[in-house]
Structure formats: structure tokens, C-alpha cells
A = this chain, B = another copy of it.
Amino acid sequence: MQKKLDSLKTRLAEIDDLNHAAAILGWDQQTYMPPGGAEARAQQLATLSHISHEKFIDNAIGDILNELQEYAEGLPEDSDDASLIRVTKRDYDKARRVPSALISEIAQAGAQAFEAWKEAKDGFNFTIFAPFLKRNLELKKRYAECLGYTGRIYDPLLDQFEPGMTTAQVETIFANIRQELVPLVHAITSKSTVVDNSFLHQEFDEQKQWDICVKAARLIGYVFERGRLDRSPHPFTTSFSIDDVRITTRFLRDYFSAAFFATLHEAGHALYNQGISRKLEHTPLADGASLGVHESQSRMWENLVGRSRAFWKFFMPHVKDIFPEEFHNIHAENMYRAVNRVQPSFIRVEADEVTYNLHIMIRFELENDLLEDRISIHDLPNAWNIKMQEYLGITPPDDARGVLQDVHWSSGSFGYFPTYSLGNIFAAQLFDQVKRDLPDIETSFEKGAFQKLLDWLRQNLHAHGRKFTLDELARRITGEPLQTRSFITYLKNKFGEIYGL
């Protein structure tokens, strides 16, 4: 049996190398590749992903997995080997259900739709994108049919990004938070209290911004000897091994928060990958559990830490060392309030903690409306604007700041958006547990000590890699399933205090 397990691991390690090679090509594509490299790079990536896919859906892997089934059942369910067999079987069954031809068709349609989306967005013209979006939607419906489902067609799409989560569960969660958030946003915007964040909008030297980003990332525990920071138009985190987890950020010369919080966010993702147990290295378990769980880590460091009063009590003097003129007379408390300013706005990625999830709900609801034929592609821009008015009280002046703002649908990534909110919600739930386990944690932030939090996360969450689902992790770590109570309480307390509600 050990021999069979070893043979499985050897095959998976080869696939792991191919996938990481593809990740390296992707990183280069977004950071350093010259324009001329684009065409060949697309082919190289397609070849790597094709070979990796072919090797993974090999009958031999299915046979070994079947032969190992009984062995796995005799092991503790949370053992590394049982988890490897269970998760690989889950991936394998999904991968086998979708024909390679459909995967290629989706990739090709996505590449074309991406170009159309850019053109449509630049030209404020949704109709350019509409036929491509329609095609993506049709292909993803076929994809969902291949994967199969018993309840909603959205289920298998969501499951690709958030294994085990159902559409109905997300609807319940979103209903819970919507009924609290819409009134909260209303309460904040009706108050005369104005939070001044004008000092974040000045000219900030890029090299100095870089230095602060590096300092902050290092401070929270990101190890540069096992990663690196680069620039890219859209910040991202990517991992080539547990010991090579890279992040990127982007700089706006006239807005301090852009690079700073993008760096904390990506460093949060990276801490997760840098913290996976070495025993899982070179297996499919050496990654984050899901997009939602991954987002819980980026959001924890970006918001629960980086936008906390305690953090700024410690960090403000360091920022002032580097930008003494720019932040003259600005104190930690000013900074804390400024980086937490609530303001309904059109663009999701610029949204504050309170309004952010309303942006997500709009997308989630529209995706379901499209997939279940309640609205047509033609209706989409108008449906978007109506929901924006309903949830956020504002209407986008054009589709570039409305329905066209996100890249996701251009690649047919339906089912992806909810994971952002699941991450926010799970982060708050985890942090409540942290405070129960380490009551003085916020005092340690004031002293610039973040290792305790990182150690806690490493032990309870990071080390497990992909062994467990979001729900399994929630139960193991906090003793209850994913709940919205922590998140709502967090928002009400924090923003109630800032805005004097």
C-alpha cells in the first residue's frame, strides 16, 4: 500500500512541478515580460496546462486512488495521507468530468472576451462586450452541466473556488449581512460626521512608498528570503513552493493607501502560503484551502490588523520618519480614522469595509439571475445600476464604473465573487477566536509585535494547506460553522465608534 501511495505522490509531484512552472511563467508575464513575449507565452502556458491536465486525468491515477480508498478509510480523517487521497479524489473526479476540448474552448473564448472587455471598458460601451459575455455564459453553463449538480446551476461553479459551499448557503449568509449593512451604510452617510482623509491624497515619492511597503510586509512576518515584492498593474500573490511565495503591488503617486494596503493584503495571502506545513510540500495539499479561506488571510492582515487603531499606534511614527512633511501634524488617530473612511462608491476594489460586501452581493445575485435566465445579457447594465441604487444609494455614471469594472466575467469566472465576502466574514470569525485564545493580542499590536498572531494562524490554519474546507476549518478552529455574527459585530463596533452612531 505504501508503494501505491508513493507512486501516487510521484505522479502528483510531477504535476505540481508543471503547475508551478506555469505559475512562474504567469508571474513573469505580469511583471517583467516585454510586450513581444505575449504571443509565445500564451502558447507556452497552454502547453504546460495541457500536459499537466493530461497527466492528472490519466486512468492510472484513478486506479491508484481507488486502490487506496480502503487504506485511507483506516486512517484518521485529518491525517496527511487520508487528506491527500480525499482531496486528490475530489479534484480528480471534477477534472475527469470536463472534456479537454471544452476547457480549451473556454480558455480561448476567455482570451477573446478579455480583449473585447478591455475595448468595451475603454470605450464605455457594453455592447462591444455583450456577445462575448454571452458566449462565456453559455460555455460556463455547459461546464456546470459537465460537473453536474442537484440543486442550483451556480453550485458547481462556486464549488470550483469554494469547495463544499452551496449557493443556498451563500444566499443565507448574504441575506444576514445585507439586512445589517444597508442600514449601517445609511446611518453613516446620514451623519454629519466627516472623516478627513485628504492627507492620504498628496504626492508621495514612489521609492519612499516602496520602503514603507517593505517595512510593513516584513513587520507582519513576510520573509523576503522566501519571496519577493515586485510591481504589477494588478497586485497579486503567487507561489512556486513554500519557500518562494511572491507578491506584487502597484503605486499611485497621489494616493498613499493604494500601494500600502495592496501590499498588506498580498502579504497576508503570502503569509498563508509561506506557512503551509513542509510535510505537504510537493503535493496538491500545499496551497490555500479555498479562495475564501485565502481571502480571510489577506483581509485579516489588511483590515483587522492594518486598519486597526493598535497597528497605527505603533506604525505611525515609522511612516512619519519616511514622510515627515506629508504627515506633519497627522497623528495615529487621524490615520486610523482616515484609512477607515466610509463612502459609497462605484468601484469595488476601492470600497471600504462596510460597503465592500454590498458590491459582492450585486455580482453574486446578477450571476445567478443570468445563469438561471431571469435576466438577459442585454438587461445586465440596467440591472446592475438598479441594484447599486438599492444597496449603495448611488448610480454609476457609465458602464466602465458599473457593470464593466471587473475583469472576472471576461474570463468566464462566474462563482468567484462570493469568495471575497466569505473571506471577510471568516476573517472576523477567526479573529474573535484569536481574541479568546490570546486576550492581549491587540496590546501586542501596539508594540509592533505580530508574531503571536502569525504563530496562531500558522498552527491553526496555515499549516493544514488544502486538507480541509472552509466549513471544516471553521468548525475545527472556532467550534462552529461559518457565521456572520462576528463580522457584523466587528463592523458595528468599529464604525459605530468612528462615526458616533
Determine which residue in A22, A24, A32 has the highest number of CB atoms from chain B within 10 A of its CB, and name it.
Answer: A24
A28 within 8 A of B: yes
Which of B228, B241, B243 contacts A32 (CB under 8 A)? Answer: B228
A-side interface size class: 35 or more
Is B20 in contact with A240, judged by CB distance below 8 angstroms?
no
Q: A34-B228, A34-B244, A225-B36 are in contact. Are A44 and B25 (CB under 8 A)?
A: no
Asked if A20 and B40 make an inter-chain contact with CB atoms under 8 angstroms apart, the answer reads: yes
Knowing that A32-B230, A36-B244 are A-B contacts, what are 19 other residue pairs whose CB atoms are under 8 Å apart, sorted by A's residue number?
A17-B43, A17-B46, A17-B47, A20-B40, A21-B25, A34-B225, A34-B226, A34-B228, A34-B243, A34-B246, A36-B223, A36-B227, A39-B243, A40-B240, A40-B242, A40-B244, A40-B281, A44-B240, A51-B51
Q: Which residues of A in the span 432-464 have a Cβ within 8 Å of any Cβ on B?
A: none
CB distance from A100 to the nearest CB of B (A): 14
Q: A24-B25, A43-B282, A282-B43 are in contact. Are A244 and B37 (CB under 8 A)?
A: yes
User: A135 on the interface (CB 8 Å rule)?
Assistant: no
- Within A8-28, the residues touching B (CB, 8 Å) are 13-14, 17-18, 20-22, 24-25, 28
Q: What 1/0 mask marks residues of chain A from 235 to 249 whose CB sits below 8 Å from any chain B CB?
A: 000001111101000
A348 contacts the other chain (Cβ, under 8 Å)? no
Check A224 for interface membership: any CB of B closer than 8 A.
yes
Flag if A14 contacts B244 (CB, 8 Å): no
Contact between chains at B36 and A243 (CB < 8 Å) = yes
A32: chain B residues within 8 A (beta carbon): 32, 228, 230
**Complex: chain B residue closest to A20, CB-CB:** B44
Q: Are B224 and A37 in contact (CB under 8 A)?
A: no
**What are 12 pairs between A and B in contact, CB < 8 Å?**
A14-B51, A17-B44, A21-B21, A21-B44, A32-B32, A36-B225, A39-B241, A40-B240, A40-B241, A40-B243, A40-B244, A40-B281
Q: Does A233 contact B (CB under 8 A)?
A: no
Copy total for this chain: 2
Q: Does A151 contact B (CB under 8 A)?
A: no
A76 to chain B, nearest CB (A): 28
Minimum CB–CB distance from A220 to chain B (whole Å) comes to 18
- State the CA gap A69–B172 with chains docked (Å): 68
Cβ-based interface call for A500 (8 A): no
- A41 at the B interface (CB under 8 A): yes
* Assembly CA distance A262 to B149 (angstroms): 61
- List B contacts of A17 (CB < 8 A): 43-44, 46-48
Among B13, B33, B244, which residue has its beta carbon within 8 angstroms of that of A244? Answer: B33
For the complex of A and B, the 3 pairs showing the least CB-CB separation, nearest first, are: A40-B241, A37-B244, A36-B243
Q: Which residues of B contact A47 (CB under 8 A)?
A: 13-14, 17-18, 21
How far apart are A12's CB and chain B's nearest CB, in angstroms?
12
Instruction: Find A36's partner among B14, B20, B226 (CB 8 Å cutoff).
Output: B226
Taking CB atoms, residues of chain B closer than 8 Å to A36 are: 223, 225-227, 241, 243-244
Q: For window 246-273 of chain A, which residues contact chain B by CB distance below 8 Å?
A: 246
Given the complex, which residues of B lie within 8 Å of A33, measured CB to CB?
A: 244
Q: Contacts of A240 on B, CB cut-off 8 Å?
A: 37, 40-41, 44
Residues of B within 8 A of A228 (CB): 32, 34
Most B CB atoms within 10 A — which of A36, A228, A281? Answer: A36
Beta-carbon contacts under 8 Å, A37-79 to B: 37, 39-41, 43-44, 46-48, 51
> Is A479 positioned at the interface, with any CB of B under 8 Å from its CB?
no
Interface centre among A21, A33, A243 (most CB of B within 10 A): A21
- List the B side residues contacting A37 at CB < 8 Å: 226, 240-241, 243-244
Asked whether any CB of chain B lies closer than 8 Å to the CB of A99, the reply is no
Chain A window 208-229, contacts with chain B (Cβ cutoff 8 Å), 1 for yes, 0 for no: 0000000000000001111110
